[in-house]
Amino acid sequence: MSQERQSSGVRRSVRVGVIGGGQLGRMMALAGIPLGLSFRFLEPKEDPPCASVGEVVRGAYDDPDALDRFSDGVDVITYEFENVPVDSAKRLSERVPVYPPPMALEVAQDRLVEKETFRELGIGTAPYRRVDTREELDRALVELGMPAVLKTRRLGYDGKGQAVIEDPDSAAAAWDRLGGRPLILESFVDFERELSCLAVRSRSGELRVYPLVENAHTDGILRESRAPAPGITAERAREAAELVERLLDHLDYVGVLAVEFFDTEEGLLANEMAPRVHNSGHWSQDGGGVSQFENHIRAILGLPLGDPRPIGWAGMVNLIGGIPPRGESLGAGGARLHLYGKEPRPGRKLGHLNTRAETLEGLERRLAELGEIAARYGEG
């Protein structure tokens, strides 16, 4: 299409390339198409969620030929998952601007590098140890105590690649399952809740911070978010924003960055970061401000950013493993439905429901109703 229009002398629209064809890319496109942009996705799987909102270049993320076809004629490239091969991002960035910068991928793809980066910047984390051998695991367990969590340094998500160690037996079992790969042992954090802070920084340097979000997980999968996090003090909110800004500066970051924190009696401890739009920011689509998806797109194009604040209180419930009938979802008070076009499978994120309310009590009532619907049809 681009070629056709160009050769006829008619101007073509700005085209955004997205590595990955899942729901996050789909929602980016739904936010970007109204800005007059068109989208192209690089995706190895057939019939991905993004197929309805742009062109799909089918190919592996590390296939040079696919990367070339993908990047040919796009104006800017971003990604919707953090396990994009760094070499691919670097290759692409020689031809087209790639945001967030590939360095953010390098940090986010390795839990050890990530934690060391947090520490360097004065951002608190749970105590941790690098673990490459069984001996290092034993020593780390002595130093950190039990319970502790053994994690692969790479390629873990939604609670996968993790094992809780409570005693010598579970240490052996964890090693049998995960050993042989680069690992990290982390102290078990006694936290009150998990918070996340999303911020967005534009090519121009403009910065906006979304309010702190409270997240509820089950089995390592996000179930619900509330924004702003209920009962948060202004100091805590400023602290989170300040820590995330340090990361943005350090990484010379462009786009949306999400950082997950444990909220503890001693303060915020950073758990991990995601160099992309994030499930805990989905409420922003219907919160009354500018969504994380639109602000991410604005940021990578150097456009002015929009107000990230919700009007009143906003919340989200994930639809996992099963999809309620549309009528039931939309019949709930103030529900907004977002489906991803994916086939149901236990434990799979298939969509989410957003809602907002003037008061926290109103939000809680609405989230309870939505959570009940999600649970009735969900699996895993």
Q: Which positions lie near its own copies, rule CB under 8 A?
A: 1, 5, 10-11, 13, 26-27, 30, 33-36, 38-39, 47, 51-54, 288, 290, 298, 301-304, 306-307, 311, 323, 326-327, 330-331, 334, 336-341, 343, 351
Minimum distance of its own copies from residue 165's CB (angstroms): 41
| Residue 275 or 351 having the CB closest to its own copies | 351
Minimum distance of its own copies from residue 9's CB (angstroms): 11
Q: What is the 8-class DSSP label of residue 98?
A: B
| Residue 231 or 288 having the CB closest to its own copies | 288
Give the torsion sign (CA, 190, 193, 197, 198). positive
Minimum distance of its own copies from residue 340's CB (angstroms): 8
- Under 8 Å between Cβ of 302 and 204: yes
| Residue 52 or 218 having the CB closest to its own copies | 52
In this structure, the number of other CB atoms found within 10 A of the CB of residue 300 comes to 25
Cross-strand bridge partners of residue 354:
316, 336
Give the torsion sign (CA, 163, 84, 79, 51). negative
Per-residue tokens: 53:
């909102």
| Residue 52 or 359 having the CB closest to its own copies | 52
Minimum distance of its own copies from residue 227's CB (angstroms): 16
Q: Name the residue with tokens 């520490």.
A: 119
| Residue 275 or 334 having the CB closest to its own copies | 334
Minimum distance of its own copies from residue 248's CB (angstroms): 20
Minimum distance of its own copies from residue 28's CB (angstroms): 13
| Residue 104 or 300 having the CB closest to its own copies | 300
Q: Name the residue with tokens 């995706």.
A: 43
Count CA within 13 A, CB hemisphere, residue 117: 24
Q: How far apart are CA 342 and CA 257, in angstroms?
A: 25
H helix intervals, the chain: 2-7, 23-32, 64-71, 86-93, 102-108, 111-120, 134-144, 168-178, 234-250, 292-300, 326-331, 360-377
Q: How far apart are CA 102 and CA 286, in angstroms?
A: 30
Minimum distance of its own copies from residue 27's CB (angstroms): 8
| Residue 38 or 88 having the CB closest to its own copies | 38
Q: How far apart are CA 336 and CA 16, in angstroms?
A: 27
